[in-house]
Amino acid sequence: MKTTLTFSAFLLVFCGNINAQAVNIQDSLALVDIYNSTNGPNWKYQYNWLNGPVNTWQRVTVTGDRVTAISIGSNNLSGTLPASIGNLTKLTDLSLIYGTTGGSIPSSIGNLTELTSLNLSFNQFTGSIPSTFGNLQNLQRLILGANQLSGSIPAAIGQMQSLTTLYLYTNQLSGNIPSELGNLSKLTNLTLHTNQLSGSIPAALSNITTLSELYLENNQLSGNIPPELGNLSGLVNLHINNNKLTGSIPKELG
């Protein structure tokens, strides 16, 4: 069946509507892989998938001959994401929320260097966050909340200089909060709550002067509250309850 569907997509690229521009073959085949790997026949929204020119496939955006956006969340997705998703190198927006997609997040997503938004929240992804995400220099929104991710937060995330939103809440992440996150000079929202993070709150977070939301509650963080957090003059919400913090509340927070 997979061979038949793949061949069908191949024909669509070359023999589809003569008024439609042919889509890059690697993009087309990557979409077919996603469809086959995530229970495509049972999706709620699948109009024209595998049946018409790629630029008519529901919730897929094509610009020129390249796929630039996929938004197939709340769509009864299950299964796993294929490594070939990394071939969609002109993708700027990828949203696969509210499904039961599991397995590990493909490290090949690190090839998608033009991504500005990546939302894989409310699924069942397991394993670690790929360190290859550090390659995503144009990414502004990274949302991986409400999964079953484990391991540590990669220090490489601190290289993602365009990030404004980082949501890693409600997973099983452990280890220290990397001090490298303090390099995210455009970040406005850092949400790491409801994990198993330990160690101290890095004073380096005070370098993110753009930060307005900091949610670290429901972890196993210990030590003192860094007085340096008082430098975050634009901070609106600071949630650090339900940890193992000790010492006094720094007067600098005033």
Q: What is the pLDDT of residues 129-187, one digit of tens each?
A: 999 999 999 999 999 999 999 999 999 999 999 999 999 999 999 999 999 999 999 99
Does residue 68 lie within any of the structural domains? yes
What span, in angstroms and rounded, lies between the C-alpha atoms of 60 and 23?
12
| Total-model pTM | 0.91
Does residue 45 lie within any of the structural domains? no
Domain that holds residue 147: 61-253
The dihedral over CA atoms of 120, 122, 128, 130, expressed in degrees to the nearest 10, equals: 10
Res. 2: pLDDT tops 80: no
Counted residue by residue, the chain has a size of 254
Res. 224: pLDDT tops 50: yes
Q: Give the pLDDT of residue 20.
A: 52
Res. 108: pLDDT tops 80: yes
Does residue 18 lie within any of the structural domains? no
Does residue 9 lie within any of the structural domains? no
Res. 23: pLDDT tops 70: yes
- State how many domains the chain has: 1
Does residue 29 lie within any of the structural domains? no
Does residue 171 lie within any of the structural domains? yes
What span, in angstroms and rounded, lies between the C-alpha atoms of 98 and 122?
5
pLDDT band at 18 (very low <50, low <70, confident <90, very high): very low
| CATH, residue 67 | 3.80.10.10
What is the distance of C-alpha 40 from the center of its chain? 21
Does residue 104 lie within any of the structural domains? yes
Average pLDDT, the chain: 93
Res. 61: pLDDT tops 60: yes
Does residue 39 lie within any of the structural domains? no
Cα-based distances in Å from 75 to 54, 59, 68, 117, 215 = 18, 10, 19, 19, 29
Cα-based distances in Å from 174 to 8, 119, 121 = 44, 21, 18
